[in-house]
């Protein structure tokens, strides 16, 4: 065996190649060297292999020629990106699906999805990356609406589901099934709500404490539109006013009991458990992805409690606070308006008479 063959065999054995026993033909050594060249990570070893192959070629040994490596593709990010907002007080959220176009630029599919009504609106734009960034910043600065990144496949499945719930679109432009062909040909996934990796769902033992503290969610800007709307709360305000102005003489304790019953019924009517649970899960994803993990845990816990026991809606502090403050605000505004209208009137309502009498009644001395 020549020196070059011996050197080649020694190099191969050091690199762990299966050379076998006895003399090895130089042609076989050349094949082994060419085979492992692309798998060797050390630069010095790759240089040594190429030197051995060169020396073998000088001695007339045909060495295999490796095909040139394919040029590396530039890293452009995912072909499709997804963004989603929290759910507002009407049950609406924005879902954006963005696809890079071969001719340059981006295709933006913007869906307005409602829980539980489904797909409300769909718009398609050709935008640049700069325009997309400016749109996100404008939504956040002007409307306080944050759009966070999410798995586009999960968002796609939610829009497909929303289309099915909405039924046949009134106009072709609102048909996501047609628009989707410009995004992907893959079949959609089964729909499921987004779950952040930053939040672990609470177990049955830990859930009550989180639910008890859930009124803290009112401090988050995502819930500033969750207050009940005037038209929805009007019948409840009317019932509360009727209770206060009733000619029946009720003690303060009796009035409080009646008022609590009214507000409990109102909470269940204003915040349907199944709808609210899904809205909270969706909003929890945005909270967690924007660094507010504790608030996300409250939202997830309340959602789980609503699914586990829908009858408990009226006992959840977060929903109680929304109802009480919402009804109280509308009631105070109506009463202020009514007092203004009744200035100078000589006719008193039963409620006004009771109020006047209570003010003129001497206070009982405390024991």
Contact, 226 vs 282, CB < 8 A? Answer: no
* Per-residue pLDDT at 246: 67
Give the mean pLDDT of 93-111: 93
**Which segments of the chain does DSSP mark as H helices, in order?**
3-14, 26-37, 43-58, 129-143, 152-166, 176-179, 207-212, 230-245, 252-270, 273-289, 293-308, 317-341, 350-360
Give the mean pLDDT of 295-319: 92
The 10s digit of each residue's pLDDT in 222-252 is 999 998 888 888 888 888 777 777 666 667 7
Higher pLDDT, 325 or 168: 325
* Per-residue pLDDT at 97: 97
Q: What is the pTM of this model?
A: 0.68
* Per-residue pLDDT at 207: 93
User: 């060495």: which residue's tokens?
Assistant: 63
Domain coordinates in residue numbering, the chain: 3-58, 80-182, 207-360
* Per-residue pLDDT at 45: 75
Q: Is the pLDDT of residue 68 over 80?
A: no
What is the DSSP secondary-structure string of 259-304? HHHHHHHHHHHHS-HHHHHHHHHHHHHHHHHTT-HHHHHHHHHHHH
Q: Is the pLDDT of residue 217 over 80?
A: yes
Q: Is the pLDDT of residue 300 over 60?
A: yes
Give the mean pLDDT of 52-59: 81
Task: Kindly state the percentage of the chain with pLDDT values over 70.
Answer: 79
What token pair was written down for 304?
Answer: 């789980």
Higher pLDDT, 108 or 201: 108
User: 């640049």: which residue's tokens?
Assistant: 128
Q: How far is CA 19 from CA 24, 58, 163, in A?
A: 8, 22, 63
Confidence of residue 342 (pLDDT cuts 50, 70, 90): low
149: helix, strand or coil:
strand
């Amino acid at each position: 065996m020549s020196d070059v063959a011996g050197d080649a065999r020694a190099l191969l054995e050091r690199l762990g190649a299966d050379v076998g026993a006895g003399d090895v033909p130089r042609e076989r050594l050349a094949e082994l060297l060419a085979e492992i060249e692309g798998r060797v990570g050390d630069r010095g070893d790759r240089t040594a292999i190429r030197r051995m192959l060169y020396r073998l070629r000088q001695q007339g040994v045909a060495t295999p020629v490796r095909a040139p490596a394919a040029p590396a593709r530039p890293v452009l990010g995912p072909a499709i990106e997804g963004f989603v907002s929290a759910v507002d007080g009407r049950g609406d959220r924005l879902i954006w699906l963005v696809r890079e176009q071969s001719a340059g630029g981006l295709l933006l599919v913007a869906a307005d999805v409602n829980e539980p009504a489904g797909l409300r609106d769909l718009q398609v734009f050709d935008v640049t990356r700069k325009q997309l960034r400016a749109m996100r910043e404008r939504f956040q600065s002007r409307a306080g609406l944050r759009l966070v990144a999410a798995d586009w496949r999960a968002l796609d499945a939610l829009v497909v589901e929303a289309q099915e719930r909405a039924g046949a679109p009134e106009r072709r432009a609102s048909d996501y099934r047609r628009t989707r062909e410009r995004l992907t040909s893959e079949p959609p996934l089964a729909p499921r709500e987004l779950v952040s990796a930053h939040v672990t769902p609470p177990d049955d033992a830990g859930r009550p404490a989180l639910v008890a503290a859930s009124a803290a969610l009112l401090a988050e800007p995502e819930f500033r539109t969750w207050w009940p709307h005037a038209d929805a709360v009007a019948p409840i305000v009317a019932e509360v006013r009727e209770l206060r102005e009733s000619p029946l003489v009720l003690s303060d304790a009796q009035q409080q009991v009646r008022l609590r019953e009214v507000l409990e019924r109102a909470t269940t009517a204003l915040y349907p458990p199944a709808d609210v649970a899904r809205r909270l899960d969706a909003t929890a994803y945005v909270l967690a992805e924007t660094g507010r993990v504790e608030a996300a845990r409250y939202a997830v816990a309340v959602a789980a409690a609503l699914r586990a026991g829908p009858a408990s809606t009226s006992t959840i502090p977060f929903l109680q606070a929304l109802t009480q403050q919402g009804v109280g605000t509308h009631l105070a505004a109506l009463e202020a308006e009514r007092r203004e209208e009744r200035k100078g009137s000589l006719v008193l309502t039963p409620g006004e008479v009771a109020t006047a009498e209570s003010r003129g009644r001497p206070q009982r001395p405390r024991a």
